[in-house]
Structure 1
């Protein structure tokens, strides 16, 4: 099971990432350096499989959140280097959460419960409609306001099912 964790900060560098053992640079992978407000630095390896919320192109200076699998093996280097599963650029009035949601549509960390409406767009990563119940799946949820309850409740704008 994927253990989604996130890191939020400002993009301070975007470089090509070398993936061939002979040093050949393919250009399909990027290394995005993100620094938070405390000065902590994380490098995200972005592959062609990394999902970018709203399909945005990141630039230096953007505030972003990178989501990664905390159970995945990582090289023992500093700063830490994680394979990005999802990257989201900060947008006013829009929050993003990536997690496993159970049959009651409560996130794995018990911090968010989804109330799906007829206006909630439920799609796959390839922008095709998802016609089944999104419960018991890894979901990328784009939402706005939440209640002050525990877990917080929201009616999401969009749900991307991460099959």
Structure 2
């Protein structure tokens, strides 16, 4: 189980990231610098396995949220540098939650409960349908309105299972 942490801000720089290994990996890794508007900066290492919600192209000036494993080791440098697992470009018509969801489909922070409808698309990161229960898994939940209860409840548009 990944302990997902998030950092939200504006992309201020995108550059190639040198992994130190020559050959096939050159140009495949990017470094996204993200500033939150309060002076905090985070660098995200974006690899070929980083999942971009809706497969959007991110550019300098875009508002994004980067999700990373809070338990993963990180180099002791400033600004902090995290391996991006999921990147979300802000979209005013949808909300996104990346978390582990338990057997009741409640996120690990207890803030969101998912109610699945027959219209909820449940897919893998490669776009193929997921045929099992999404409970007890790491999920990307894409949803619109939610209740104001704790946990908030929603019926998502789409669930992406992170296998």
Superposition deviation, residue 22 in structure 1: 6.3
Q: Tell me the residue number matched to 1:43.
A: 43
Kindly provide the CA deviation profile for residues 77-113 of structure 1, in whole angstroms up to 9, marking residues without a partner as x: 0000000000000001211111000000000000000
Any stretches of 5+ residues in structure 2 without a counterpart?
none
Q: Check whether the contact 1:113–1:151 (CA below 8 A) recurs between aligned residues.
A: yes
For residues 86-125 of structure 1, what are the structure 2 equivalents within 5 Å? 86-125=86-125
Q: Check whether the contact 1:64–1:88 (CA below 8 A) recurs between aligned residues.
A: yes
In the alignment, the residues of structure 1 paired with residue 159 and residue 93 of structure 2 have an alpha-carbon distance, to the nearest angstrom, of 16
Tell me how large the CA RMSD over aligned residues is. 1.4
TM-score normalized by the length of structure 1? 0.97
TM-score normalized by the length of structure 2? 0.97
For residues 44-63 of structure 1, what are the structure 2 equivalents within 5 Å? 44-63=44-63
Give 4+ residue runs of structure 1 displaced > 4 Å after superposition. Answer: 21-25
In the alignment, the residues of structure 1 paired with residue 51 and residue 22 of structure 2 have an alpha-carbon distance, to the nearest angstrom, of 28
Any stretches of 5+ residues in structure 1 without a counterpart?
none
Q: Tell me the residue number matched to 2:159.
A: 159
Superposition deviation, residue 39 in structure 1: 1.5
